[in-house]
């Protein structure tokens, strides 16, 4: 760490603002300088300002929330700011406190930032932790290693030879090394005691002669042969144990089989009875199949007949449909012409009545003749209508004849359909009976069971 600049204000006897630039050639050229002056001139105040800027406290003057002994008397504020460099990077660390109008102290302001004014910490607790990280020294280490208090140094100079070591440890904070030295001594003592015990144990061990070693080797060779023989015997014993275990398992299986023999015999008996019953059922099924064959044959024949009748019936139905259309058309024409004839007859009758009542109007005779001609035309038209009516009657007769033929064909078809329905019901009944006999199995399954039972019985 290298201190570059120190600014402070109203620290102890140094009132007002002060700046010390340690980068000035006056300091850098010589590399060594001293802070001198009379007592009370403010030499230690410079060191207090450095300590305040770094840690917010000094080793010789207390600074608390309610009391600030470093602030110059009669002043309302004080601060300390230090610029320093660590590992090529520059930082600023500052401490500041003010008094309110009432005279009470305001909370301390702390700040640590890099040289680009990026804030690293701005709270008392975080600043304490961050400065230790950056500098690598706690407050206690800093005050003993870097900035030794005047009183401690004076005590060191005035101490006798025997006390200087202990005092130097206290001043520099190296008392930890005395503790470490004691721990090392105790550990060395413990390890030496362990070594002594091991050496005693080694002395108690008897070293064998060459002859004794040879005898042990021979005994070891004999033991190896014995071991091989024992291993072979153990292998034989294991094999015998396996045979015995297999024999025991077989005997157990035989005993179980003997216990199950009556049950198996009973099952065989039941199977034989089932087989005999199955044979009877199978024969019944086959007989039933033979009975069903004529029904199947009749059904197929009826299907063929129905198909043929349907083929014959189709053109007849088409003719009937056309006749019905012709009859409908003729009837419509007849009704229309009859209506016209009726109207003409009524008109003629009215005209004749009028003529009879008005004979004096002979000049109307010629008109009456025209009316008679008109009437004749109507009569002729009526004759045509009668002819059409006759044709329609003929068509109706032909229609009735063909209708009768169709009815017979339909009746025949109905009878065949009824017969087919009846045969189908009979077939379904037979199938149901057959299914009950088979009891949900296929005929091939019964045949397979028959073969299995035959094999069991024989």
Q: Are 323 and 395 in contact (CB under 8 A)?
A: yes
d(CA 83, CA 53): 9
Domain ranges of the chain: 2-147, 285-452
Higher pLDDT, 260 or 106: 106
Where does the pLDDT of residue 226 fall: very low under 50, low under 70, confident under 90, or very high at 90 and above? confident
**pLDDT of 317 strictly over 90:** no
Rounded to an integer, what is the distance from CA 56 to the centroid of its chain?
A: 58
Tokens of residue 223, six digits: 């033991």
Q: What is the DSSP string of 201-246?
A: HHHHSPPPPHHHHHHHHHHHHHHHHHHHHHHHHHHHHHHHHHHHHH
Most confident of 68-72, 143-147, 343-347, 357-361: 68-72
Most confident of 8-12, 250-254, 310-314, 362-366: 8-12
| CATH number, domain 285-452, options 1.10.150, 1.10.287, 2.40.50, 1.10.10 | 1.10.287
Instruction: Tell me the pLDDT tens digit for each residue of 79-116.
Output: 999 999 999 999 999 999 999 888 888 999 999 999 88
Where does the pLDDT of residue 4 fall: very low under 50, low under 70, confident under 90, or very high at 90 and above? very high
Instruction: Give the number of other Cβ atoms within 10 Å of residue 95's Cβ.
Output: 26
d(CA 390, CA 30): 158
d(CA 70, CA 75): 11
**pLDDT of 364 strictly over 70:** no
pLDDT reported for residue 287: 75
- Over range 283-301, report the average pLDDT: 70
pLDDT reported for residue 125: 92
pLDDT reported for residue 365: 47
CATH class of 2-147: alpha beta
pLDDT reported for residue 314: 72
**pLDDT of 128 strictly over 50:** yes
- Over range 28-49, report the average pLDDT: 84
Question: Which residues make beta-bridge pairs with 121?
Answer: 112
d(CA 179, CA 293): 119
Distances (CA, A) of 20 to 4, 23, 162, 307: 9, 9, 40, 130
Where does the pLDDT of residue 129 fall: very low under 50, low under 70, confident under 90, or very high at 90 and above? very high
Instruction: Tell me the pLDDT tens digit for each residue of 417-442.
Output: 777 777 777 777 776 776 776 666 66
Tokens of residue 346, six digits: 């009524």
Considering only 13-27, 50-64, 104-118, which range has the smallest mean pLDDT? Answer: 50-64
Question: Which residues make beta-bridge pairs with 109?
Answer: 96
Q: Which letter does DSSP use for residue 146 in this model?
A: I
List the 14-21 sheet strands across, edge first. Answer: 14-21, 2-11, 77-86, 89-98, 109-114, 119-121
């Amino acid at each position: 760490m290298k201190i570059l600049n120190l600014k402070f204000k109203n620290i102890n006897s140094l009132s007002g603002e002060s700046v010390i630039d340690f980068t000035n050639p006056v300091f850098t050229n010589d590399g060594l300088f001293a802070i001198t002056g009379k007592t009370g001139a403010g030499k230690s105040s410079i060191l207090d300002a450095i300590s305040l800027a770094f840690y917010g406290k000094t080793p010789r003057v207390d600074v608390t929330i309610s009391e600030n002994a470093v602030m110059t008397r009669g002043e309302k504020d004080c601060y300390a700011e230090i610029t320093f460099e660590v590992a090529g990077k520059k930082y600023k660390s500052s401490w500041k406190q003010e008094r309110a109008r009432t005279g009470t102290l305001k909370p301390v302001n702390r700040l640590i930032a890099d040289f680009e004014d990026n804030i690293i910490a701005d709270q008392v607790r975080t600043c304490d932790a961050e400065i230790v990280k950056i500098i690598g020294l706690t407050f206690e280490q800093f005050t003993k290693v870097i900035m030794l208090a005047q009183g401690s140094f004076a005590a060191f100079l005035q101490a006798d030879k025997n006390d200087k070591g202990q005092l130097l440890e206290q001043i520099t904070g190296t008392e930890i090394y005395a503790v470490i030295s004691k721990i090392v001594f105790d550990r060395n003592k413990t390890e030496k005691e362990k070594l002594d015990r091991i050496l005693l144990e080694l002395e108690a061990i008897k070293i064998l002669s060459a002859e004794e070693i040879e005898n042990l080797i021979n005994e070891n060779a004999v033991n190896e042969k014995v071991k091989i023989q024992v291993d072979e015997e153990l292998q034989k014993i294991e094999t015998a144990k396996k045979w015995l275990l297999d024999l025991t398992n077989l005997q157990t299986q035989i005993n179980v089989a003997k216990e199950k023999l009556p049950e198996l015999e009973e099952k065989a008996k039941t199977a034989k009875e089932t087989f005999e019953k199955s044979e009877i059922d199978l024969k019944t099924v086959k007989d039933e199949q033979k009975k069903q064959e004529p029904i199947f044959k009749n059904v197929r024949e009826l299907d063929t007949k129905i198909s043929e009748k349907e083929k014959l019936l189709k053109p007849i139905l088409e003719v009937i449909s056309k006749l019905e259309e012709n009859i409908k058309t003729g009837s419509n024409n007849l009704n229309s012409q009859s209506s016209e004839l009726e109207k003409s007859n009524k008109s003629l009758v009215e005209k004749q009545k009028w003529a009879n009542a008005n004979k004096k109007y002979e000049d109307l005779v010629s008109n009456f003749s025209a009316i008679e001609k008109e009437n004749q035309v109507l009569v002729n038209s009526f004759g045509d209508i009668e002819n059409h009516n006759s044709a329609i009657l003929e068509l109706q007769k032909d229609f009735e004849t063909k209708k009768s033929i169709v009815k017979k064909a339909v009746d025949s078809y109905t009878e065949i359909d009824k017969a087919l329905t009846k045969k189908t019901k009979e077939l379904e009944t037979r199938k149901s009976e057959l299914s009950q006999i088979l009891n949900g199995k296929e005929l091939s399954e019964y045949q397979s069971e028959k073969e299995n039972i035959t094999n069991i019985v024989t």
